[in-house]
Structure 1
Amino acid sequence: MPCFQQPKHFQSLVLLHWPLSYLGIFWILQPLAIYLLFTSWWPLPALYFAWLLLDWKTPEQGGRRSAWVRNWCAWTHIRDYFPISILKTKDLSPEHNYLMGVHPHGILTFGAFCNFCTEATGFSKIFPGITPHLATLSWFFKIPFIRDYLMAKGVCSVSQPAIDYLLSHGTGNLVGIVIGGVGEALQSAPNTTTLILQKRKGFVRMALQHGAHLVPTYTFGETEVYDQVVFHKDSYMYKFQSYFRQVVGFYFCIFYGRGFRQGSIGLLPYPLPIVTVVGEPLPLPKIEKPSQEMVDKYHALYMKALTKLFDQHKTQYGCPETQKLLFL
């Protein structure tokens, strides 16, 4: 178990609120809305569900962000728990659109959430004129209430129509995609720098189609905040995880961190620093139908830029000089 300073209990409780709020919406608010349909309060949920049908395509048409939600003080407590910060290496011009690779996924992607879905680390002041959107699984936006909560924080669907819309309407849009996806969560463990990227090239093709600049980012410390039980690929548990992924859409990971008491084990992450380093944008030409050769070329350039970014900052943020990125 890593050594760390015990955070305040209030920060721990606020941190728990983040994942538990989604469970509360799913298991309490949604059943309550259905129950109210059969009471004298039925007009309230009926109006919401009617509006939901009219609003169904909003997640794929830019979403509906809320500056109020993004500035909740709760996010600053989550920031201070670790703490979480963001480092800019180059300015991003509001005259362009950007497709940002977010690495690594980690278990719960704390760094990307705090830096791009909230204003806790001051994104709008660090990158003036840039509007961040973090893409996540499309089926989240089919769940009533949760979709609205996600959109309020600037989260968008990772579907192609949603990303196409953001990259083709106006400028100054920054769309972040966790390239490794949920599969990379299984690679998340302390002292590992394994990324699923070698064959993930769809984001490069999409950037070329819109002439969007590619922005590499690496979040140091993301894989350090939880320990994970890793199963061999021939084991029954690994096969179960793969089956769970096919059915639900994400992997069932067995992970653990600290508890509320010093030295105890629980589901709270270890309070270790998390730093997202945003690299220099890689300009791409606009090609409506890019060839595979062109996609491969810029994919290789992106991997090279990401490796350079990691190597330039790794010793500053706790990685040994000999640590290398491993691409799968």
Structure 2
Amino acid sequence: MISFAPLSLPLERRLQTLATVQWVFSFLVLGLACTVTYIGLFFTRFWFISILYSAWWYLDRDTPRKGGRQIKCMQNWRLWKYLADYFPVSLIKTVDLDPTQNYIAGFHPHGVLAAGAFTNFCTGATNFSSLFPGIRSHLMMLTLWFRLPFFRDYLLTGGLVTSEKECVSYLLSKKEGGNLLVIIVGGAQEALDARPGSYTLLLRNRKGFIKLALLHGASLLPVFSFGENELFDQIDNPQGSWLRWIQEKLQKVMGISLPLFHGRGIFQYNFGMLPYRRQINTVVGKPIKVEQNTHPSQEEVDHLHQRYMTELCNLFEAHKTKYNVPPEQHLEFR
């Protein structure tokens, strides 16, 4: 039986839903829509718009790997506050961060659409700037998305940057500090395990961000987002199944994963592409101080990686009961 949303819902909740529709549309469709518009304009009397944009695109081509182009007024849109209140999303600080230092934050888990990562680190909806004064956050995203016309400019306004090493070096080499580079360590592949009750992280062999921290002397910051995997249901795709095999092959070819997920709809609660209204609590742990080493050995990388996993587990164990995770539940790494 379909459960419809009541007509008497207050305007505030309707605006929250509208903001979430916009966000899901942006994540799933806007890039394609922008590309089609860019190409289509060449065949209309407005062809000059695409010509002018092409010139701008060429001149601005290095911006995604040179720290992006944050626009504070857009990050502080009221729209993002409605999005955060839809779930709601909360950002929890455990310690202060030194604004003279640079940081690499490992964000876990990816979830289906990385709602917590975007809301906390690309918008002002959860008061990041007030919690961590003097710190500028930059969320890394697949370079593929910055190759889409118009859409790339939309991403840049929120502080999103490419996942290229050149971008990491540019941000973490700034001596004045104050840069927080957020990496969703499990990446698109981890999204295939995103379902309610899952605490499996793709981390055991993900050591690239550890080496980057050593190369630049950036402190490591474990971040765990409780509730991230609760937002959608996903069709069963266990390891070894034909569906998982197809998804992993597509992920290797395209660079993005295609989880078959569903949530609720706009006017009913049973099915659709909107996330469920389930709370997200993103906890930022204490930094792990890293001494710069421009030629780290594999043993040094492995040692720091093990320490990072231990600190992430400690963060999870210290907070899990506050956010309705069963006491017997522990993180699993693969």
- Which has the higher mean CA deviation after the structures are superposed, 143-152 or 129-138? 143-152
Task: Please tell me the residue identity of whatever aligns with 1:222.
Answer: E
After TM superposition, give the deviation of residue 39 of structure 1 in Å.
4.2
| Alignment match of 1:151 (pick from 151, 156, 163) | 156
| Alignment match of 1:298 (pick from 301, 304, 317) | 304
Match of 2:46 in 1: 41
Query: 1:77-226 to 2 correspondence within 5 Å?
Result: 77-169=82-174, 170-226=176-232
Match of 1:227 in 2: 233
- Which has the higher mean CA deviation after the structures are superposed, 242-251 or 114-123? 242-251
Task: Please tell me the residue identity of whatever aligns with 1:176.
Answer: V
What TM-score do the two structures reach when normalised by structure 1? Answer: 0.94
Query: 1:217-256 to 2 correspondence within 5 Å?
Result: 217-256=223-262
Match of 1:318 in 2: 324
Identity %: 44
Q: What is the CA–CA distance in structure 2 between the aligned matches of 1:96 and 1:111, rounded to whole Å?
A: 24
Q: What is the CA–CA distance in structure 2 between the aligned matches of 1:325 and 1:24, rounded to whole Å?
A: 33
- Which has the higher mean CA deviation after the structures are superposed, 308-317 or 256-265? 256-265
Counterpart of 1:266 in 2: which secondary structure? coil
Counterpart of 1:79 in 2: which secondary structure? helix
Which deviations, in whole Å up to 9, do the C-alpha atoms of 1:188-207 show, x marking residues without a partner?
A: 11111111111111101000
Which deviations, in whole Å up to 9, do the C-alpha atoms of 1:231-262 show, x marking residues without a partner?
A: 23333222221222122211111111122345
What is the number of residues matched between the two proteins? 325
- Which has the higher mean CA deviation after the structures are superposed, 81-90 or 49-58? 49-58
Change (3 A) 1:191 1:22: closer
Partners of 1:22 and 1:146 within 8 A in 2: no
Partners of 1:106 and 1:222 within 8 A in 2: yes
| Alignment match of 1:307 (pick from 302, 313, 327) | 313
Q: What is the CA–CA distance in structure 1 between the aligned matches of 2:33 and 2:204, rounded to whole Å?
A: 41
What TM-score do the two structures reach when normalised by structure 2? Answer: 0.93
After TM superposition, give the deviation of residue 38 of structure 1 in Å.
4.1
Q: What is the CA–CA distance in structure 2 between the aligned matches of 1:224 and 1:36, rounded to whole Å?
A: 40
After TM superposition, give the deviation of residue 26 of structure 1 in Å.
3.4
Counterpart of 1:276 in 2: which secondary structure? strand
Match of 2:293 in 1: 287
Q: What is the CA–CA distance in structure 1 between the aligned matches of 2:320 and 2:29, rounded to whole Å?
A: 38
Change (3 A) 1:266 1:101: same
CA RMSD, 1 decimal: 1.8
| Alignment match of 2:21 (pick from 16, 38, 42) | 16
Q: What is the CA–CA distance in structure 2 between the aligned matches of 1:105 and 1:273, rounded to whole Å?
A: 16
1:75 counterpart = 2:75: no
Segments of structure 2 that go 5 or more residues without pairing to the other structure are none
Change (3 A) 1:258 1:22: closer
Task: Please tell me the residue identity of whatever aligns with 2:131.
Answer: I
| Alignment match of 2:37 (pick from 32, 40, 43) | 32
Partners of 1:111 and 1:219 within 8 A in 2: yes
Task: Please tell me the residue identity of whatever aligns with 1:138.
Answer: T
Q: What is the CA–CA distance in structure 1 between the aligned matches of 2:278 and 2:132, rounded to whole Å?
A: 25
Change (3 A) 1:232 1:33: closer
Partners of 1:16 and 1:268 within 8 A in 2: yes
Change (3 A) 1:196 1:32: closer
After TM superposition, give the deviation of residue 23 of structure 1 in Å.
5.4
Which deviations, in whole Å up to 9, do the C-alpha atoms of 1:2-51 show, x marking residues without a partner?
A: xxx98823322210111313555434443333333344433332111012
